[in-house]
C-alpha cells in the first residue's frame, strides 16, 4: 500500500469536481443550484439524492447517505480510501508521491495495514477450509451438506468448507507466510492453549464464511457435525468483524434486491443458502444475533420493503415483533410472511414447492395486520383492560406511517375490531401528536425531543441556531459556544455545536471537510441535510439574536417551573420555601429582561 502527502489530497479535492465524478456513475439532472438523481444506496421512485457543486457534498433525503467525492467512491464502488485516492489521482493526472498522512481522515496507516493482514488471514483460512471439504477428512461434512440438498454450485457460491479436528497444518502454513501468533489470535479464528500452542477454535464443523459488502471475508460461522455444543459457533468481534454492522449474504443478494426492490430477511445461514439454491436471490440473514439499528439502516440503503421470514415458532414470533419495533422509527415498509405447515423456509419449499413459497411472500401481511392478528390470537379482548392495552400497543405502529390515508384506514380497522369510537382514536393520533407529525427532525432524533409545547418551541429555536451556523461558519472566528451551551437542552444540538466548533478550530473550514471527520451518524446526516436548505444571509449580530432567543426561552422555561413550584408551596403554606422561590423568580425575570435588551446573562 502506498501512502501520499496530504497536500496531494488537497490538490485532488480542488480538481475532483463531485458532480463530474458522480455523473460518471449516475444520471444527474440540474435542479436549481444542485443536481439530483435516484439514490444508488436505496431503491426509490422519486429522486432524493442531491449533489451540491458549491459545497462539494451529496446527501440523500430518503436514506440519509451523505459525504464527499471520496466517500461516494468508497460506498458506491466499495473502494478503500487509498484506492479512491488512486482512482481520482489517475483520473486527474495527479502524481502520487511516497509519504502520506491520514490527517483529514478517520483511520491511520497502522490500522489499515493491520486490517489488510486480517483480511488476508481470513481469505487464506477460507480457501483452506473449502479445500478440506473435498479431501478424505471432509467426507462426513460433504455428506452432511449433500444430505441437506446443497449442490456443488451452492458450496462454491457461499465458499462453504470444513474445519478438520486438527489445525496444526493450517497454523504452520500461516506462520510460514509470516503471520505472527498475536495476529492469528487477533483474527478471532485461533486461540492459544495453556502450553502455548496455537489452534483453531473451529474444528469438526461445516464452515460458512461471512463476507462484508465489499466481498471480503471477515468472519466464520461453523455448525458442529454430530453431537456437541455449541451447535453453531461464530467468530468473535474483531477489528474487521462487527456483527451489528453486517448481514449474511448481502453481497450476493444486493443486485437482486435492487432489481426486485425487496429484501427477504431470514434467521440463519442455512435459510439463506437453501432458498438461494432454489431460486430466491434476495434473501439475507442477521448473523444469528438480535437485529440491530445499524443492520436496519444498512438494509434500507438497498430497499425500503423488508419481508420478515422467521421460523414458525414462539422464538420466531418474538424475533418478528422485535424486528418490527426496530424498523418502526426508520419509516420502512415491513411485511411478514407466515409459513404455516413448516418450521423454516427450507422445509416449506421442500414440502410445498418454490411457487408456494413465493406466493407466501406475495401475500405477506403488513406489520400492522400481523400485530393485530397476533393480539387477537393471544389476548382476551373481552376484558376492558386487555382491550385498552392492545390498542395502546398498536397506536405507535399506526403513528409511524407517513401516509395519512393509511393511518385513517388502520384506525377504521381498530375501531371495528375493538368496538371503539373512531373519533376518539383520531384525536389521539392526529391532535396529540404534533411533535411527531410536524417536526422536520429525522425519525432517529425524535426520541430526543420533549413532549411539551414549551420544549418544542425551544428545540425549534436551538435547531435554527445550528442551521444558521452551518451556513455562516466564519462567525466562529469571533464567537464561541463554550459558555452558552448550558442554555441548550437538546442533546443532538449540543453534540452538533460542540463538534462544529471543535472541527472549525482544528482547521476544517467547510462542511464537506467536517463531514469527513464525523463518526456519529446522527450528526453527520443532519448536517449534510441542513447544507442543502435555502441559505438566509445573516450578520453576526443577527446570529447573536438567534442564540439570545434560545437563552431567553431557557429563562422562560425556568420561570414557568418556578411558578409551578410557588403554587405548590403556597398550598402547603411553606413561607421559607416561598421566599426562596420568589428570589429565584426575580433573578430569572431580571435575566430575561437583560437578554431581551440585547445582553446575555450568566446562569446561577
Helix (H, G, I), strand (E, B) or coil at 332: coil
pLDDT digits (tens, 9 = 90+) for 441-496: 332 332 333 334 567 788 889 999 998 998 888 899 888 888 889 999 888 899 99
The grid coordinates listed for 72 are 461516494
Bridge-based pairing of strands 263-266 and 305-308 is parallel
Pick the closest to residue 338 from 368, 317, 324 (CA basis): 317
Cβ-in-10-Å burial (0-12, 13-18, 19+) of 440 comes to: exposed
- Angle, vertex CA 163, rays to CA 158 and CA 164, nearest 5: 150
Scan for cell 420568589, then name that residue. 582
- Whole-prediction pTM value? 0.65
The grid coordinates listed for 173 are 502454513
pLDDT < 50 stretches in the chain: 1-4, 98-107, 433-452, 601-604
Pick the closest to residue 27 from 39, 16, 15 (CA basis): 39
In CATH, 109-241 is 3.90.980.10? yes
Q: For the domain bounded by 6-91, which CATH number is listed?
A: 3.90.580.10
Q: In Å, how far are 309, 467, 566 from 263, measured between CA atoms?
A: 10, 36, 57
Helix (H, G, I), strand (E, B) or coil at 328: helix
- C-alpha to C-alpha distance for 494 and 499, rounded to whole angstroms: 9
Scan for cell 435547531, then name that residue. 463
Within 180-333, residue ranges assigned H as helices are 181-186, 250-260, 269-277, 293-300, 314-327
Calculate the dihedral angle through the C-alpha atoms of 84, 87, 88, 94, rounding to the nearest 10 degrees: 120
Q: Partners of 51 in the beta sheet? A: 35, 58
The grid coordinates listed for 128 are 483452506
The grid coordinates listed for 50 are 442531491
Q: What is the DSSP code (8-state) at residue 535?
A: P
- Contact between 211 and 251 (Cβ < 8 Å): yes
- C-alpha to C-alpha distance for 265 and 16, rounded to whole angstroms: 39
- Identify the pLDDT of residue 431: 55
Radius of gyration of the chain (CA): 29
Helix (H, G, I), strand (E, B) or coil at 209: strand
Q: For the domain bounded by 245-371, which CATH number is listed?
A: 3.40.1360.10
- C-alpha to C-alpha distance for 452 and 471, rounded to whole angstroms: 29
- Identify the pLDDT of residue 370: 96
pLDDT digits (tens, 9 = 90+) for 529-560: 888 776 778 888 889 899 999 999 988 888 88
Pick the closest to residue 336 from 353, 350, 355, 317 (CA basis): 317
DSSP class per residue in 486-505: GG---HHHHHHHHHHHHHHH
Bridge-based pairing of strands 232-234 and 217-224 is antiparallel
Amino acid at each position: 500500500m502506498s501512502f501520499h502527502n496530504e497536500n496531494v489530497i488537497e490538490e485532488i479535492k480542488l480538481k475532483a469536481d463531485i458532480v463530474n465524478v458522480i455523473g460518471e456513475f449516475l444520471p444527474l439532472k440540474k435542479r436549481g443550484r444542485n443536481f439530483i438523481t435516484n439514490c444508488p444506496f436505496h431503491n426509490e421512485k422519486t429522486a432524493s439524492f442531491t449533489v451540491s457543486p458549491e459545497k462539494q457534498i451529496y446527501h440523500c433525503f430518503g436514506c440519509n447517505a451523505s459525504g464527499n467525492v471520496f466517500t461516494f467512491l468508497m460506498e458506491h464502488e466499495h473502494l478503500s480510501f487509498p484506492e479512491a485516492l488512486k482512482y481520482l489521482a489517475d483520473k486527474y493526472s495527479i502524481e502520487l508521491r511516497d509519504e502520506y498522512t491520514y490527517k483529514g481522515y478517520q483511520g491511520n496507516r497502522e490500522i489499515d495495514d493491520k486490517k489488510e493482514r486480517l483480511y488476508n488471514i481470513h481469505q487464506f483460512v477460507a480457501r483452506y477450509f473449502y479445500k478440506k471439504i473435498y479431501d478424505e477428512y471432509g467426507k462426513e461434512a460433504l455428506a452432511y451438506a449433500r444430505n441437506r440438498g446443497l449442490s456443488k454450485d451452492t458450496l462454491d457460491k457461499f465458499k462453504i468448507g470444513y474445519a478438520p479436528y486438527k489445525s496444526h497444518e493450517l497454523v504452520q502454513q500461516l506462520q510460514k507466510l509470516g503471520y505472527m501468533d498475536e495476529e492469528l489470535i487477533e483474527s478471532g479464528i485461533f486461540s492459544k492453549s495453556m502450553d502455548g500452542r496455537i489452534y483453531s477454535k473451529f474444528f469438526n464443523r461445516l464452515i460458512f464464511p461471512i463476507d462484508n459488502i465489499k466481498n471480503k471475508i471477515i468472519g466464520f460461522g461453523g455448525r458442529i457435525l454430530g453431537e456437541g455444543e455449541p451447535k453453531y459457533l461464530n467468530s468473535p468481534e474483531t477489528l474487521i468483524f462487527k456483527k451489528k454492522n453486517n448481514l449474511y449474504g448481502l453481497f450476493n443478494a444486493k443486485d437482486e434486491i435492487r432489481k426486485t426492490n425487496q429484501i427477504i430477511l431470514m434467521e440463519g445461514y442455512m435459510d439463506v443458502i437453501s432458498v438461494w439454491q432454489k431460486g430466491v436471490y434476495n434473501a439475507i440473514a442477521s448473523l444469528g444475533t438480535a437485529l440491530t439499528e445499524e443492520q436496519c439502516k444498512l438494509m434500507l440503503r438497498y430497499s425500503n420493503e423488508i419481508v420478515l421470514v422467521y421460523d414458525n415458532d414462539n422464538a420466531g414470533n418474538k424475533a418478528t415483533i422485535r424486528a418490527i419495533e426496530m424498523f418502526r422509527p426508520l419509516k420502512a415498509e415491513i411485511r411478514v410472511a407466515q409459513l404455516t405447515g413448516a418450521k423454516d423456509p427450507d422445509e416449506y419449499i421442500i414440502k410445498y414447492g418454490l411457487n408456494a413459497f413465493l406466493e407466501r411472500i406475495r401475500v405477506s401481511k403488513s406489520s400492522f395486520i400481523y400485530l393485530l392478528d397476533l393480539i387477537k390470537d393471544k389476548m382476551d379482548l373481552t376484558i376492558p383492560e386487555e382491550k385498552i392495552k392492545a390498542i395502546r400497543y398498536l397506536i405507535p405502529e399506526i403513528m409511524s406511517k407517513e401516509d395519512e390515508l393509511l393511518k385513517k384506514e388502520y384506525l377504521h380497522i381498530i375501531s371495528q375490531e375493538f368496538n371503539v369510537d373512531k373519533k376518539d382514536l383520531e384525536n389521539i393520533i392526529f391532535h396529540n401528536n404534533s411533535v411527531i407529525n410536524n417536526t422536520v427532525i429525522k425519525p432517529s432524533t425524535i426520541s430526543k425531543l420533549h413532549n411539551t409545547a414549551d420544549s418544542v418551541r425551544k428545540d425549534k429555536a436551538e435547531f435554527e441556531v445550528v442551521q444558521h451556523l452551518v451556513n455562516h461558519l466564519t462567525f466562529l472566528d469571533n464567537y464561541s459556544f463554550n459558555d452558552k451551551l448550558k442554555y441548550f437542552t437538546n442533546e443532538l444540538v449540543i453534540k452538533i455545536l460542540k463538534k462544529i466548533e471543535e472541527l472549525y478550530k482544528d482547521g476544517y473550514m467547510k462542511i464537506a471537510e467536517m463531514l469527513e471527520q464525523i463518526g456519529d451518524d446522527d450528526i453527520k446526516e443532519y448536517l449534510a441535510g441542513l447544507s442543502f436548505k435555502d441559505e438566509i444571509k445573516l450578520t453576526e449580530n443577527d446570529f447573536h439574536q438567534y442564540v439570545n432567543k434560545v437563552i431567553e426561552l431557557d429563562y422562560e422555561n425556568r420561570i414557568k417551573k418556578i411558578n409551578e413550584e410557588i403554587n405548590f408551596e403556597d398550598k402547603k403554606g411553606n413561607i421559607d420555601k416561598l421566599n426562596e422561590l420568589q428570589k429565584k423568580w426575580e433573578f430569572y425575570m431580571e435575566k430575561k429582561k437583560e437578554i431581551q435588551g440585547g445582553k446575555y446573562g450568566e446562569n446561577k
